[in-house]
Chains A and B, each alone.
Chain A
Amino acid sequence: MAELVALVLTLVQSEWLGAFWVGWGWISLYVQWITLTGAGLLCGLRRWAPPLPQSAALLLSYILLLVTAIGIGWGVEVLWPLPAEPLQGFLWRSTLAAAIIDLLVLRHLYVLGRWRNQVQAEAEVRLEALESRLRPHFLFNTLNSIIALVRVAPDAAEQALLDLSDLFRAVLQKPSSRSTLGQELDWARRYLALEQIRLGDRLEVVWETQALPADAEVPRLLLQPIVENAVYHGVEGMASGGRIEIKGQLSGGHVELVISNPRSGERRTGRGHGLGLNILKSRLSLAFPDTLDPVRVEVGDDGQFRIRLHLPYVTGRERVAGS
């Protein structure tokens, strides 16, 4: 890239072919000095640099590159007086050129980096779509319960099978598509109804979601994995059972949702809470790139585990109109 810059600079100022080759040689030497010194400094310093936010790192790199360019420009002017003729205001022109070119290069690297992160996040979300929906443990235990119900309570068995087929329809649909909060709450309710059959009195569920807008647009299968984790990592591991609370409200144009459950305190085998949470975070920051902290996780002194969702209230129609 540095050679291309040198070539452009030479093209702009040369008048005849001989001068072109000589000029290219000199300018290449100069540009390569600046490039190699700048790149070397950046790579060397990176090792000692504290972890910085991206914007600060970009600004610092930019300043460092400019200082390098000025330093070398000054060095050339002072120590190695070139033929005086074309070099009126050499340092100023060189610095300005470096400022513009560095800006372009950093911008290019920034866009490249963002694109790479985005591709990676999307790949992870897709992977999650394949493996995280409905644990086999849940499926086979639920089927076992339903088989037991068939004889003693046929109506309950029928209802359970209907809920199970709805859930599977949801899971098998295209993962990237969007859904509404009303739909998500419905799926979470069906899921918990099935868990209620398995766990009986041990599972208590409290819903306070009347104030939530059913038409808010959210990523598909947002809530079911959260309540599944609340059962799997919480209530199911406690001999005396526990309570899951799902509370929500609309405030300041945002949907606020809190899902809380007790923690059984035991590390259970299998996929941990941590991975599931990371996936949830990356899904939500992909869906709502402008929202700061769409997911917050709290562990209370009372041993309660809470997931707070803070999502902009957007309906499907608004999104289409807005874009």
Chain B
Amino acid sequence: MSSPEDIARARQLKELEPLHEAWSNWTHARQSLEETLPLMQDPDPTMRTLASEEFTSLAHTLSTHISTTFPSLLVPPSSTRDLHALLELKAGVGGSEAALFLLDLLRVYVRYAGSVGWRTSIIQSSETESGGMRDAILEIKGEGAYDALRWESGVHRVQRVPATESSGRTHTSTVAVIVLPLSEDAENIGGNDELFKMEDVKIEVMRARGAGGQHVNKTESAVRLTHTPTGITVSMQDERSQHQNKRRAFQVLRARLMDVKLSRDIANRRATRRNLVRTADRSEKIRTYNYAQDRVTDHRIGLSLMNLTSFLEGDGVQDFLDALRRNWQEEIMEDVVGESE
């Protein structure tokens, strides 16, 4: 058994790994460069050509370290790096077309999570008659899922001709996405913790059962939680088991309260005030999927991807997540530099 100290030490070592790796790569490249220099005056022309090619590649490695690798090490390790994620999707304007697009987006996230090796399950959904979903909650279990996906929060807009539209007119519909942080212990029912007190949570079962007991054998498993101080309510009815619905409801409640706490922490930190992405309003449109132009555009960073299919069927979402993470890291670096001035 490892003691808490061991675990803390192991974690610290793991966090220092990138620093160590960057420094040894840097030292190694410099040493190689010094060894290459004399060879550039070698009498053998073949050797000279080889040495010169080597020189160009090493010089490139070194300059990447200075321009990218070292600055990125300034970004402090994320305090939310271990967290899993809950994705809440809600169809917005556009009726059944929005519900169909919600399903498209849901598939994108499920496939992306699978490609990273994270486990997903849809813990709540309401299907529409036309085969879409009005809303859904997707649980994504995997360390770092929250950090990777949190930039997906916001309004996603689709412009396309619905399959059901006979006149061929383009419709605009929206789906709102909220990415919530989920911790490992979020499944415990009850118990007080830093997020809420049990006495502040009202647990209700849905609907009246008449006489109940032996008189009725209808499945009645829906549960609603209300967190009185914040007014947050969570309803769960997808499972046959009330026990399971309650467990799920507490999981979502914890994620929402953790989200509130994180937002408050960020607001309290003056340094992040200039950070555009992080403080973005969730009711703001963040991305447009335009079918006629076969284009996905992220409005926050002005990035467009000219292949919609690669986003919806492939790994195009990775490009956006990478770009958004880089953007965020650059802003943090600017903050760090700004503070030291």
Does A pair with B? no
